[in-house]
């Protein structure tokens, strides 16, 4: 690590990312670039170290494989910690490994499971330490909401509010335009006083915080923006936070069409839709 303090930074992604379809490749590249910036002068020639925590979905091997392939291709030195299979990594000490990274990337899944498991392993404390020491914290979906005071999660079935670790003030709703039931649930919970104001973020789009301040919104999907949502005088107020479109200088290879079809079928079978503004949900008017 280079001497001297670095800015604690969090990149909170609304959905998609690392090679899932290739379309959010610019976002993966952006994370790799920020990780590289953490190398400083002394280690400028090194490959930035980035560690995946796939805890929220139970450490599935395909997620780890995709992560490694994506970030290796982007010039990083990827690794992962699978808390369910630590027996396979006998020599890894969790705190030491995480604090040696330039960036930490938290995968999506169940927010409630993620935090419960981290706490039993003491990782909540380690991640705060990592953040304060300037290691880039990033994550998608549950891996985005975990940094905030609260989020809207499907950890228990239907969408409902669930607490995060509170590194960042406010709440976070991911898949904001992509999951038909989530945004209405977010708005209802906020109106009921169960959630503080916060940010709704669609897939392929990310909030970037320096310290605890929102620095900018970036997106790999032109036309997508984030939304700041608050309750003012008993009314919901949604303000657009325009996203800077990230340029994809080195697009990832297209997904195998057979695999794309398999995934589409799987999504249909599980009743989930990833299409923008699917299932008739439209942005509420205020």
Partner 1 sequence: MEAGNPLLDDYVLAAANKAHPKVCFLASASGDADHYIVRFYRAFDASRCEPSHLSLFRREAGAPDLRTHLLDQDVIYVGGGSVISLLGVWRAHGLDAILREAWTNGVLMCGVSAGSLCWFREAVTAFHGEPQRVTGLDLLPWSNTVHYDGEQARDRSYRQFLVDGLCPGYAAEDGAALHFVGERLVRAVSSRPHARAYRMRCVRGRVVKSAIKTRYLADGVLPALPAGGGGRGLSVAPDSGPAEVLPTAIAAGARS
Phi, psi torsion values for 152, nearest 5 degrees: -110, 115
Identify the CA nearest to 104 among candidates 113, 92, 91, 94. 94
Cα separation of 105 and 35, whole Å? Answer: 10
Task: Pull the structure tokens for residue 36.
Answer: 């590289």
Q: Does 154 bind partner 1 (CB under 8 A)?
A: yes
Q: Does 262 bind partner 1 (CB under 8 A)?
A: no
Identify the CA nearest to 148 among candidates 170, 175, 174. 170
Q: Does 96 bind partner 1 (CB under 8 A)?
A: no
Cα separation of 96 and 79, whole Å? Answer: 13
* CB of residue 93 to partner 1, shortest distance in Å: 7
Q: Does 51 bind partner 1 (CB under 8 A)?
A: no
* CB of residue 112 to partner 1, shortest distance in Å: 4
Span near partner 1 by CB under 8 A; candidates 20-28, 81-89, 187-195, 205-213 = 81-89
CB-side exposure of 238: number of CA atoms within 13 Å?
18
C-alpha radius of gyration, the chain, whole number: 18
* CB of residue 270 to partner 1, shortest distance in Å: 6
Q: Directed axis angle between helix 111-121 and helix 123-132, to 10°?
A: 90
Q: Does 168 bind partner 1 (CB under 8 A)?
A: no
Window 172-191: residues binding partner 1 (CB under 8 A): none
| Local structure of residue 224 (DSSP, 8 states) | -
Length of the chain (residues) = 286
Span near partner 1 by CB under 8 A; candidates 52-60, 167-175, 214-222, 253-261 = 52-60
Q: Is the dihedral of CA 19, 24, 29, 34 positive or negative?
A: negative
Instruction: Identify which of residues 21 and 57 has a Cβ nearer to partner 1 in the complex.
Output: 57
Q: Does 285 bind partner 1 (CB under 8 A)?
A: no
Q: Are 225 and 242 in contact, with CB atoms under 8 Å apart?
A: yes
Q: Does 267 bind partner 1 (CB under 8 A)?
A: no
User: Catalytic one among 20, 138, 141, 155?
Assistant: 141
* CB of residue 146 to partner 1, shortest distance in Å: 13
Instruction: Identify which of residues 80 and 221 has a Cβ nearer to partner 1 in the complex.
Output: 80
Span near partner 1 by CB under 8 A; candidates 34-42, 55-63, 95-103, 225-233 = 55-63
* CB of residue 266 to partner 1, shortest distance in Å: 11
Span near partner 1 by CB under 8 A; candidates 8-16, 76-84, 221-229, 275-283 = 76-84
Q: Pseudo-torsion of CA 136, 142, 147, 148, nearest 10°?
A: 150
Please confirm, yes or no, whether 141 is among the known catalytic residues: yes
User: Catalytic one among 25, 80, 97, 175?
Assistant: 175
Tokens 């509420």 correspond to 284
Span near partner 1 by CB under 8 A; candidates 105-113, 205-213, 216-224, 245-253 = 105-113
Q: 219 in helix, strand or coil?
A: strand
Phi, psi torsion values for 33, nearest 5 degrees: -65, -45
Which residues here bind partner 1, judged by CB under 8 A? 56-60, 82-87, 89-90, 93, 109-110, 112-113, 115-121, 154-158, 270, 272
Residues identified as active-site: 141, 175
């Amino acid at each position: 690590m280079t001497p001297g303090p670095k800015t604690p930074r969090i990149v909170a992604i609304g959905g998609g990312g690392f090679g899932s379809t290739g379309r959010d490749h610019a976002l993966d590249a952006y994370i790799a670039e920020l990780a590289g910036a953490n190398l400083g002068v002394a280690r400028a020639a090194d490959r930035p170290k980035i560690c995946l925590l796939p805890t929220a979905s139970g450490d599935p091997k395909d997620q780890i494989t995709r992560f490694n392939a994506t970030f290796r291709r982007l010039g990083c030195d990827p690794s992962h910690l699978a808390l369910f299979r630590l027996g396979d990594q006998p020599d890894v000490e969790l705190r030491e490994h995480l604090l040696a990274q330039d960036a930490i990337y938290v995968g999506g899944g169940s927010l409630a499971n993620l935090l419960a498991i981290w706490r039993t392993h003491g990782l909540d404390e380690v991640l705060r330490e990592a953040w304060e020491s300037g290691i880039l914290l990033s994550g998608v979906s549950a891996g985005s909401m975990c940094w905030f005071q609260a989020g809207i999660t499907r950890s228990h079935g239907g969408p409902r509010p669930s607490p995060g670790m509170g590194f960042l003030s406010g709440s976070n709703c991911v898949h904001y335009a992509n999951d038909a039931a989530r945004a209405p649930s977010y708005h209802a919970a906020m109106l009921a006083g169960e959630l503080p104001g916060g940010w709704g973020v669609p897939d392929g789009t990310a909030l970037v915080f320096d310290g605890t301040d929102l620095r900018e919104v970036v997106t790999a999907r032109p036309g997508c923006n984030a939304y700041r949502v608050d309750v003012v005088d008993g009314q919901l107020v949604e303000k657009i936070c325009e996203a800077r479109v990230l340029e994809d200088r080195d697009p990832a290879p297209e997904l195998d069409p057979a695999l794309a079809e398999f995934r589409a079928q799987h999504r249909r079978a599980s009743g989930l839709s990833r299409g923008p503004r699917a299932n008739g949900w439209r942005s509420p008017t205020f």
